[in-house]
A and B are shown apart, each in its own frame.
Chain A
Amino acid sequence: MAIKLIRRGVADDPAEALKFICPPAFSGGPIDPQPATRTLRRNLDVMIDLPLPPAVAARTRALKDKIRLWTIEDPDLPQDQGRTFPSPLIRTVQGDVVQATVGFQLDAHTIHWHGIEPTPLNDGVGHTSFEATSSFVYQFATNTAGTYFYHCHKNTVLHFEMGLYGGLIVDPLNPDPDSLNQAPYPTGGPGFASANVPGFPGFDPANFVVPYDVEAVWAVDSFDSIWHLLNHDAFMQKCDANDPMAAANFTNDGILNVFRPDVFLISGVVSVPASSPEVSPEIGANIQDPRVAINAKVNQTVLIRLLNADYLIHENILGLDSVAIAADGHPFGVPPLNRYSAPVRIPAGRPFRTTSARRYDLLVRTPAVPGIFPFRVKFIDWISGKVVHIARTVIKVQP
């Protein structure tokens, strides 16, 4: 008896299928405009070659001394600040109506403002809206203060990996309108975060905000150097308006299901194998670069915004006690929408995990005596569960 065959589905709607596979081009905007309280610009994509330290380059599968990145530039900054990896941070204020003019200099792209929830035309997903080739003004509000990020959502598996992302922080108002430090706060601190942490130094229960002295954004990522040799539309399906889902349109030789990273980074700084011979080469030396390592003083509050910008599982271990005050941009315990949750105390040394796109905001109170405290991330393969690298940095607490 023949084995029963179960079909893949019925492609009953060619227009919908074609749009799913080959999003239409569009430009212009804003659509249904509202008065903007904040405007900004970004351009896609700007190529950057990130130099690899020799000890890392020698271990990459592509055997290159630098790795090709695609980034999103801020054209309003001088080039050395506007063309960075990760792409320049965006800061808005809670309640803002943002109009972001996005230029597309090379190929078609989109920007998805991950965690921000606007209309589909402003959500930056090609197959539910469009891909832009000239420019488009995205419009969205930022109504909940917390940690978000923005990234390209075209052939996302490749474009996000190639570096087309940056942080997006929504700052709550300073409860003191006469203070000189008003939102958006300077990156690195000081500032205020939304939280519900009774007893924490400086917590303002009437406004659900807590002050911090020092801020760090840790975007933890890894690269598969082979993927970085690919082009924008690598392994995409052919666009066939007559029969979009026909078998002949599919590519069958792709590699984007297999992610074998060989470069590991925190916020754009490459983790270099520890040189000490007794340390496994999978373990990185402490990253001391000031873009990553935290410098604080005794008895201060540090806010760490941790993002998994990767396709791996991260097991994070912090050498100081912390309080997780938010996940995915929504502060725990802050009414009305998040009144069903509570902040979580994470003792020093207790591992906690993230997977792709997840964010935690962690408050750390530095001790009364100086010291150096570690942060480690174990990079864990999404299928085998094997640890493929350990990146490390430090929190330096000075008098």
Chain B
Amino acid sequence: MNRRDFIRYNMCGLTALAVGSVGIPGLFASQAEAAARTINLSFEEVVVEMVDTTRVYHWVFKSGGAISHGFPSPVLVARTGADITINLTNNLDEAHAFQLAGTDIRTDSIPPGASTVLNFVAPAAGTYLYIDPLNAPVNRVMGLYGAFIVLPPGVRENTAVNTPYTPPTFKVQQLFNDLGNTPQFPGEPWVPLRPEDVSPNPDLPLAIERLLFRTRIWLFSQVDPDLNLQVRGLGPGQIFDAGAFRSAFEPEYFLLNGKAGFFAAHDHVSAVEGFIGEPHLIRLLNAGLATHSNHLHANHYYLLAINNVVQNSVASIDSMTLGTVENDAVGRGSLFFRGGSTQDWLIPFLRPPDIPGDPNTPLRDLIPEELATVLGNVLQSPLKYPMHDHMEQSQTAAGGNYPQGAITDIMFLGDIDKVPFPGSV
């Protein structure tokens, strides 16, 4: 196993469950998994270790299937229009429920020890947060949240270029058409999923690996350990006053896919890695109560959708507001108003456009000194930059320890002709 595979094997922070017929050969680990129309989820307690090893009590949705439970709760994946059944069992000692945030797809309150069945048709393609909506925001902020990804209909070969949406707007379609086909986007066209490109390593937890081909999910949350401790101390059936929780909420840990700082930056399911000219789709979700302002270095990105409203005007920006579920109730969001609790970006993966010099000279020839520089025993190759929240309070853990907060990496592995930079595997 080489070093990169070792990292992958050890550090996966997300697991994924396909729901309904996803129908792309090779996307999921087994045909049995791909065919499953029903999944089982239960409400459970876990203890999550923060970046400084502080242990914090949480609640999660646990999969009853082959994938063991983790934190955050599993990514659920479906195709738009699929019939879906979720069996939910409440193994906690107060009432809980399930909802696709912002939709009327939800269960009634499930008493302690009880089960319920939720049938629904997967909504329009996009990025959804599933949550426990009860005693909002307490149950959600305690950890009962996850990403629900809805894929568009299958890849249509030799027809219009697929986008992540059904339907896209004119401008989003035009952008995806242009990737790899116009002078401004040299490199590859948009490839929604190409199974033959996916690592065949049988040791890897394959479902998430394949789901994340040229795609990343960035699920943000914040943790106030004192409040979680108080919730843990409540007796059966007792609930924490939601208003008191909101006004007392003073988060000390800021998570991206359940991890923070170094661990989030070095988690291959969060960090973006690609060659110049390999566009990536990023699906962002915020399960917490803090508003973020996420800044990407090295490339401006295109803001495709806010709360699954595909944008008519697709702006190229470097920082964007990611709002909260509470703000969604006030307005659906726009570039100029609330950023929504979910949004999608397209990173074009251009060669960082403000590197001086002949744009036709490969970077390996243009910046050889930089690519050979070793600083802090780390080679400055491949080219690594951060993505981080610019509300910099979220770059802390336990009130300091910058940058052990909501951060990850974007890495350029090599030139557009696929010649890797030194040190790229």
Whether A6 lies near B354 (C-beta < 8 A) is: no
- The contact string, 1 if C-beta is below 8 Å from chain A, for chain B 155-188, is 0000000000000000110110000001110000
B246 CB to nearest chain A CB (Å): 8
Kindly list chain B residues whose C-beta atoms are within 8 Å of the C-beta of A97: 356
Closest to A235 in B: B400
Q: How far is the CB of A229 from chain B (nearest CB, A)?
A: 15
A34 touches B357 (CB 8 A): yes
A32 to B409, CA, bound (A): 24
Residue numbers in A under 8 Å from B261 (CB-CB): 20
Report the minimal beta-carbon distance from B414 to chain A, rounded to whole angstroms: 14
Query: Which residues of chain B from 269 to 302 have a CB within 8 Å of any chain A CB?
Result: 289-293, 295, 297-300, 302
- Least distance between A355 CB and chain B CB atoms (Å): 4
Q: Which residues of A contact B40 (CB under 8 A)?
A: none
Is the Cβ of B401 less than 8 Å from the Cβ of A123? no
> B314 interface residue, CB < 8 Å from A?
yes
Additional A-B contact list (15), CB under 8 Å, known A128-B385, A355-B321: A4-B44, A12-B11, A21-B401, A125-B297, A156-B403, A236-B400, A247-B53, A250-B401, A311-B393, A328-B317, A340-B171, A341-B314, A341-B316, A358-B317, A382-B393
- Any B CB within 8 A of the CB of A369: no
Cα A337 to Cα B336 in complex, Å, equals: 20
Q: Which 9 A-B pairs give the minimum distances between C-beta atoms?
A: A235-B400, A254-B399, A254-B400, A9-B263, A24-B376, A355-B293, A336-B184, A157-B392, A250-B52
B252–A257 contact, CB under 8 A? yes
Interface membership of A242, Cβ < 8 A: no
Inter-chain contacts of A180 with B (CB < 8 A): none
B6 to chain A, nearest CB (A): 7
B-side contacts of A121, CB under 8 Å: 370, 373, 380
CA distance A257 to B390 in the complex (A): 13
A234 contacts B by Cβ under 8 Å: yes
Number of A residues whose C-beta is below 8 Å from B?
A: 100
- For residue B335, CB closer than 8 A to chain A, the reply is yes
Q: Which residues of A contact B360 (CB under 8 A)?
A: none
Please measure, in the bound complex, the distance between the C-alpha atom of A345 and the C-alpha atom of B300, giving whole angstroms: 23
In the complex, chain A residues whose CB is within 8 Å of the CB of B246: 384
Pick the contact of B392 from A3, A34, A123, A156 — CB < 8 Å?
A: A156
- Complex CA–CA separation, A32 to B356 (angstroms): 9
Chain B residues, Cβ within 8 Å of A158: 402
CB of A155 within 8 Å of the partner chain: yes
Within 8 A of B (CB), among A113-139: 114-121, 123, 125, 127-130, 139
Complex interface residues of chain A between 73 and 114 (CB less than 8 A to chain B): 97, 112, 114
A207-244 interface bits toward B, Cβ cutoff 8 Å, 1 = contact, 0 = none = 00000000000000000000000000011110000000
Q: How far does the alpha carbon of A23 sit from the alpha carbon of B380 in the complex, in Å?
A: 13
Closest to B62 in A: A4
Enumerate A335-373 residues with CB–CB distance to B below 8 Å: 335-338, 340-342, 344, 346, 351-358, 360
- Indicate if the CB atoms of A328 and B319 lie closer than 8 Å: yes
Name the A residues within 8 Å of B50 (CB-CB): 8
Asked, given contacts A32-B368, A355-B321, whether A23 binds B376 with beta carbons under 8 Å apart, the answer is: yes
- Chain A residues with CB under 8 Å of B338's CB are 353
Q: How far is the CB of A51 from chain B (nearest CB, A)?
A: 26
Which of A41-49, A141-149, A286-294, A388-396 lies at the interface? A141-149
Kindly state the separation between the CA atoms of A364 and B384 in the bound complex, as whole angstroms. 40
Please state if A332 and B315 are interface contacts (CB–CB under 8 Å): yes
Q: Is A385 an interface residue (CB 8 A)?
A: yes
User: Are A142 and B398 touching (Cβ within 8 A)?
Assistant: no
Q: Which residue from A140, A257, A352 sits with its C-beta under 8 Å from B337?
A: A352
